Amino acid sequence: MSIFFPIGDGSDAPASATFEGAGGLVASGRLKRRGAAVVAGVGALVAIGSVSQRARATFAAHGALIATGRQVGHSSAELAGHGTLVAFGHVNAQGNVLGRATFASVSGLIAAGRLLLSSGGGATLTGQGTLTAVASVARADEFGFTIFLDVVNSALELRRGTRYRARLTADGVEVPITSYALRAPRDVIGTSLSLRLARPDPGLISRAASLKFEIGVRQPGADGYEWVTFLDGGRLAGREATIGMAQGRPTDTVQVSAFDMLGDRWTLAPARPRTLYNPALISAEDVGDVPGGLVKDDDDNPVTSFKGFAAPEVITTEAGAPMTPVRVPVDDLSLRSAVHAAYVEGCGFTDVVTNIPDFPVARVDFTPFGGSYDAGIRPLLALYEPLYHAGDDGTLWITDPDELSISALSARQLPLSAVLTVKSTLPARQFVDGLVVSYQLEEGSAEIVIGDRFENETTRSGESETTTRRRIRKYGSPAEPGVVMREATIETTTTVRGADGDIIHRETQADTFDALNRKSGHTRTVESRVPDLENDGEMALLEVIEEKCSISYRPHPTRPRAYVQDSCVTTVRGLIHSDLDNTYRDEPFRVPMTDAHRNGYVDAGANQTSSFGPIKTTTESLRVREDGELDVSVIVIDELANPPTTERSSSTPRVGAIGGDSRRNNVRRVLLLADGVETVTRSVPEISGGELPRDLVLPLARRKLRRLNNPPLEVSIGLPGLDVSIRRGSIVEPHSRSGASGVFIVAAYESVGERLGTADQMITMGLECVKAGGDENE
Amino acid sequence: MNSVFDIDNNPLTHVAVNLSENGVWTFTVGVPCVAGMFLAADVPEDAQSTVSARITGSGDPFVDIADTPISLTPHANTITSFDIKIVAGDVPGLARVAIPVRVTFNP
């Protein structure tokens, strides 16, 4: 039934309207000036109302309730319901105006409220069960940009006639070298260095020695060298000693490689598995066991043996002490705080500077077993394909090269007179029609109800006709409210009619769901044609069963992020036949009315009554024995027995894949099409957005799609000397024969020095650069 | 969410500048001005560089926004064009620093 009813068309007169109904109700009302509306119903209720100026609206419902209310001025709205409540309210849409909104419900509640700066306003959200509330104070966020500044002393600039010296010291003592190869690869922080010693003595550098490698630069006319350090605090990584003879003379060599302690930071890891999680997004129970962490039994005790579990290996110390994982709740955990935890607290950088936008993160896992701090963060940043480089003050720079502003930057010009070679490469492209990207919806808060639809099905069997009517709820995203993201059947009504067309049986089941879209229970009512002892035994369609089911879940004890059903309690109340002339233990003998009718016990002329009360309680408990196997115990209590007694008790094993992923239900997969493509004709690759929110994932995925079809231009530049001011992250503008050819970021470089200290000394440098700013390639 | 813009009206998050010592670089940005906010910079002490700003076309002297943040209240509810000038200091060798430029209530 649908009713649209404006109340209070603007006059000062109080107005009121009452809507009551069983089953679905859609009501739209508008209150103005001291009006009141009460909307109450059983079953699904969709209410849309606006209240203004000392008016009052009360929305109450059992079952699903969807209410949209807007308060302005000295007004109030109360939204209360049992079951899932979705309410959108605004409090104080204007500044400096009092207002109050109260949202109260039992079980799932989703409320979005916005508070503006004003005195005396308030919002109270209370509820039992799952509650997700999003509230924000409208105060402008701080914003801005970061200047990444490289400054070089003029004594270090590469000019014609610049001279170089390479110097290696071990524990402060110089060790002469004849050649070096210095490599700063892409996507890492440190460098790799290999050198040939001038004196082929393997004992010159010990494993414990602290190594320092410097390049000295001397400009024409200068008195001495300006030294630039490329490696400090390094260690001997490897050594190769060769003994040889040529033309009667020894050609012994010793080649060493040095280990860069700065680069080694990428392998730093916590002492034991560590998970940071946002308690507002997931609970400690949902965090469960961290990857590579400890297995626990059903009572949450650490398990130090494999008994009963065929699950992730238990890692212990040599003395047998289990490596207990650490779970740390972090309020407002976000990319920035996760990056800070990893690279500053974990890896020892002084700070992290990035131009990648911040976003909420539910959890981040760090483990020493096959992982590291860096490995825990990389999935969060993968789609950005960022560049990593270090500042001189110990900071780590993580930059998205596509966000570089071409108009604002200052690039090092590299005309043809300043270089040896310039090689421009357009990487091999793929022809891709589209890309599927998956991302995680924010748990429990990103869905809105679009509406309901109905499905009807009628079947005939013998002389009876069964009609099944399903109410299917459509859910969407606030970002795209017109798009149905998923559907769920929330109510099913089955009606059976006899040969005469009268209803002989009707049952309705309404399901409820928690914030993770797991079924949390149901209410089922059954009406049946039975004798009505209140009406001389006349046959009537009476409610004979009311069943309520409540389901709880717990984390899977051996699979991270998975859950299993913990318990299911079903209480059945119904119409009860009592025979006062037939007693047991001094109480009337009682049976369900349907049983009494079916067995011919009902006699309107006898001393019999009917009442509504508890009939049966069924409790199912599930315990994971091994991965994929459960023990299911079922206890049924007969509430009609005198006294109540066990009707059935059993424990049965179940095999097969058991458990669900607490986050799988909230994963969305979207197909993006390339520009100009209307339908897919080729294989479509798929990428994961991980924790990134939808509004960041989709632009990045589109960028990825563009790059697959049109990869960024890459340039390799050979320099005639070593320009010590050019490092990873430096911005350069090489030239072609027709002039400047665009702005590029140095992603990697290499410098080679040979015949050091001789008149034939040669030192060169090669740069690997990628196009900056996300421009289209030519 | 607000953002500073470059002259091509692209949101600006990252400006890369390579300078010789005592070098100067100037660029123009558009700043959405909100009452109560300031244009400020956080220059590290050892950066030996300055970041200053003035309204484009005003002819006013540049103001060191690390020392004296510029109030945006007089230009509230407009997008105002500012010239940003970076002056590199006298560095002994190589210097690489990150300098945040913020539009903030708390300079």
Categorise residue A563: left if φ over 0, alpha if ψ from -120 to 50, beta otherwise: beta
3-state secondary structure of A160: coil
pLDDT exceeds cutoff 80 at B28 = yes
Distance from CA of A696 to the nearest CA of B (A): 13
Q: How far apart are CA B104 and CA A144, in angstroms?
A: 8
Q: How far apart are CA A440 and CA A668, in angstroms?
A: 6
Q: How far apart are CA A45 and CA A490, in angstroms?
A: 13
Which residues numbered 138-197 in A keep a CB inside 8 Å of some CB on B? 139-154, 156-157
Q: Which residues of chain A have pLDDT under 70?
A: 1-141, 263, 283-314, 441-447, 478-482, 515-516, 555-562, 625-628, 654-666, 774-778
The whole-number pLDDT of residue A327 equals: 83
Instruction: Give me the torsion for CA of A573, A577, A583, A588, rounded to 10°.
Output: 60
The whole-number pLDDT of residue A300 equals: 53
Residues with Cβ within 8 Å of A97's Cβ and at least 6 positions away in sequence, in order, are A72, A73, A74, A118, A121
The whole-number pLDDT of residue A54 equals: 45
CB-based contact A211:A204 (threshold 8 Å): no
Contact B88 A149 (CB under 8 A): yes
User: Which residue, among A489, A555, A562, has the nearest Cα to A522 in the 3D structure?
Assistant: A489
Length of chain B: 107
Contact B21 A151 (CB under 8 A): yes
3-state secondary structure of A14: coil
Contact A143 B20 (CB under 8 A): no
Residue B3: band (very low, low, confident or very high) from pLDDT cuts 50, 70, 90 = confident
DSSP A375: H
User: Which residue, among A94, A143, A130, A129, has the nearest Cα to A114 in the 3D structure?
Assistant: A94
Residues with Cβ within 8 Å of B65's Cβ and at least 6 positions away in sequence, in order, are B39, B40, B41, B51, B52, B53, B101
Instruction: Give the one of B89, B99, B102 whose C-beta lies nearest to A142's C-beta.
Output: B102
Which residues numbered 57-76 in B keep a CB inside 8 Å of some CB on A? none
Neighbours of A238 (CB within 10 A): 10
What are the helix (H) ranges across chain B? none
CB-based contact A145:A399 (threshold 8 Å): no
Distance from CA of B17 to the nearest CA of A (A): 5
Distance from CA of A21 to the nearest CA of B (A): 44
Q: How far apart are CA A569 and CA A715, in angstroms?
A: 67
DSSP B11: B
The whole-number pLDDT of residue A287 equals: 65
Neighbours of A467 (CB within 10 A): 15
Residue B88: band (very low, low, confident or very high) from pLDDT cuts 50, 70, 90 = very high
CA distances from A496 to A78, A453, A459, A503, A545 (A): 39, 22, 10, 6, 16
Q: How far apart are CA B46 and CA B89, in angstroms?
A: 10
Instruction: Give the one of B29, B100, B106 whose C-beta lies nearest to A408's C-beta.
Output: B29
What residues in B contact A139, CB-CB < 8 Å? 105
The whole-number pLDDT of residue A666 equals: 63
SS3 sequence of A54-67: CCEEEEEEECCEEE
Both tokens assigned to A171: 């524990």
Which residues numbered 2-21 in B keep a CB inside 8 Å of some CB on A? 2-4, 6-8, 10, 12-21
Beta bridge partners, A474, equal: A451, A487
CB pairs under 8 A between A and B: 177
Distance from CA of B106 to the nearest CA of A (A): 9
Contact B15 A145 (CB under 8 A): yes
Question: Whole-prediction pTM value?
Answer: 0.61
Both tokens assigned to A21: 């109904």
The whole-number pLDDT of residue A624 equals: 74
Neighbours of A679 (CB within 10 A): 7
Instruction: Give the one of B15, B18, B47 whose C-beta lies nearest to A405's C-beta.
Output: B15
The whole-number pLDDT of residue A522 equals: 92
CB-based contact A361:A334 (threshold 8 Å): yes
Contact A151 B10 (CB under 8 A): no
3-state secondary structure of A403: helix
Instruction: Give me the torsion for CA of A620, A621, A625, A627, rounded to 10°.
Output: 80
Mutation test of the interface with chain A: which of B45, B96, B102, choosing the one with the most A Cβ atoms within 10 A? Answer: B96
Mean pLDDT, rounded, for B26-31: 94
